[in-house]
């Protein structure tokens, strides 16, 4: 049990530093930055205390906000995807979720891709609509959210396959 708690704390600090020191300084093609920290929310253990999970997601988002001076944008997006995550777990993994026996490293790639994609897109849409906060610039919001989502998705899948334990 302690092992899991330690792992969560370490990954919390790890993704925060990775996000603010590396990923927010990439500025690919001028303005595209991935928000890799969502991987913490995506890969949080499925069997969990939901209240704690939602609170941790809020804390992570707010930490990122403090570093990036963005008010509460990331906190809002993170807490939302943390709250709706079970819905998407059920949608993407179906029966396996009902038995509460998902291990992310054991699932099909395609199912994992859909799960990642949906939550990342929702997260980024919330982030960019709150950052830009102007309904006359809807196209800009969609465009930026799309570019950033693709970038985040690729990095998340990479990190996931890099750091998942092989069951061989």
Site for another protein in 15-44 (CB under 8 A): 17, 20-21, 24, 27, 30-33
x/- map, 87-126, another protein, by CB under 8 A: ----------------------------------------
Closest to another protein by CB, 118 vs 130, is: 130
Print the SS3 string covering 92-153.
Answer: HHCHHHHCCCCCHHHCCHHHHHHHHHHHHHHHHHHHHHHHHCCHHHHHHHHHHHHHHHHHHH
Nearer to another protein, 57 or 112 (CB): 57
d(CA 91, CA 73): 26
- Mark the segment that binds another protein (CB under 8 A) among 39-47, 78-86, 93-101, 104-112: 78-86
């Amino acid at each position: 049990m302690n092992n899991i708690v330690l792992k969560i704390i370490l990954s919390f600090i790890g993704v925060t530093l990775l996000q603010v020191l590396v990923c927010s300084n990439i500025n690919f093609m001028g303005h595209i930055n991935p928000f890799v920290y969502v991987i913490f929310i995506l890969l949080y253990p499925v069997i969990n205390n939901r209240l704690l999970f939602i609170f941790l997601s809020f804390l992570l988002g707010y930490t990122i906000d403090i570093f990036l001076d963005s008010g509460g944008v990331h906190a809002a997006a993170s807490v939302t995807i943390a709250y709706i995550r079970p819905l998407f777990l059920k949608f993407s993994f179906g029966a396996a979720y009902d038995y509460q026996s998902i291990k992310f490293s054991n699932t099909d790639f395609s199912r994992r891709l859909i799960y990642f994609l949906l939550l990342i897109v929702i997260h980024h849409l919330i982030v960019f609509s709150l950052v830009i906060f102007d309904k006359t610039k809807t196209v800009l919001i969609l465009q930026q959210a799309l570019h950033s989502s693709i970038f985040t998705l690729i990095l998340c899948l990479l990190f996931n396959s890099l750091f998942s334990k092989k069951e061989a």
